[in-house]
């Protein structure tokens, strides 16, 4: 029943519109010139209603399809832009993470190089100390040897000088009695040695 009412009412609307269109110009002419602006305004509205009815009747589905397609295109473009945004955000995060890793690795390399440099420096210092200790010991030994050599040489020279002086002075100092006394002492010492060994 509802369908019948809708069908009847939808058939009456165009018939009513056609009736008004047919009757209006005659009524407008009969009424006189002062009614013309009202008639023009009414006709504008009638034309507008007809235009809207034609669009609703024939262009509704294509417009809906066009708008759906546009909506789909806009949604697809928004999804593409969102995916692009996520990709760029991911790349930025990865770049930041890489920068942090590079900074950490750079610091580790710098610390390791500093530690290696300190170790090499300490090793060079230790080697220098060892070499200087060895050189000082060698120099001390050389100096001690030279001092011993100098002492021995001095002793020999002093002994030679004492012997020379003794040779020069003893003949003047020692008399024949001294020589006899020394000879007696020597002989007594020899007799004592013979008694000890026999």
More confident residue, 85 or 197: 85
User: How many CB atoms lie under 10 A from the CB of residue 89?
Assistant: 10
pLDDT given at position 9: 45
pLDDT given at position 16: 61
Q: Where are the domains of the chain?
A: 1-58
pLDDT given at position 198: 63
pTM value > 0.85: no
User: What is the signed CA dihedral for 60, 62, 66, 69, rounded to 10 degrees?
Assistant: 110
* Residue range 146-168: mean pLDDT, rounded: 82
* Residue range 86-115: mean pLDDT, rounded: 91
Decide: helix, strand or coil at residue 175.
Answer: coil
pLDDT given at position 2: 38
Q: What is the pLDDT of residues 111-152, one digit of tens each?
A: 999 999 899 989 999 998 899 889 888 888 888 888 888 888
Largest CA distance in the chain: 202
Q: What is the pLDDT of residues 15-71, one digit of tens each?
A: 565 655 555 555 555 556 677 788 888 889 989 998 888 888 888 888 888 888 998
Spatial separation of the C-alpha atoms in residues 23 and 102, rounded to whole Å: 89
pLDDT given at position 191: 78
Spatial separation of the C-alpha atoms in residues 128 and 134, rounded to whole Å: 10
Task: Out of 92-96, 104-108, 144-148, 183-187, pick the least confident.
Answer: 183-187
């Amino acid at each position: 029943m509802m369908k019948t009412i809708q069908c009847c009412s939808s058939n009456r609307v165009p018939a009513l519109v056609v009736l008004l269109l047919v009757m209006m110009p005659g009524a407008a002419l009969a009424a006189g010139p002062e009614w013309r602006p009202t008639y023009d305004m009414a006709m504008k509205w009638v034309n507008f209603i007809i235009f809207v009815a034609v669009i609703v009747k024939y262009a509704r589905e294509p417009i809906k399809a066009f708008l759906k397609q546009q909506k789909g295109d806009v949604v697809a473009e928004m999804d593409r832009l969102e995916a692009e945004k996520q990709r760029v955000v991911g790349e930025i995060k990865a770049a930041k993470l890489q920068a942090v890793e590079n900074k950490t690795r750079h610091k580790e390399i710098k610390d390791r190089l500093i530690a290696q440099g300190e170790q090499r420096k300490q090793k060079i210092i230790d080697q220098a100390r060892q070499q200087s200790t060895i050189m000082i010991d060698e120099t001390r030994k050389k100096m001690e040897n030279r001092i011993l050599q100098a002492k021995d040489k001095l002793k020999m020279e002093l002994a030679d000088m004492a012997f020379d002086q003794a040779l020069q002075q003893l003949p003047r100092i020692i008399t024949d009695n001294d020589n006899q006394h020394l000879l007696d002492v020597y002989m007594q010492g020899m007799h004592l040695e013979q008694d000890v060994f026999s």
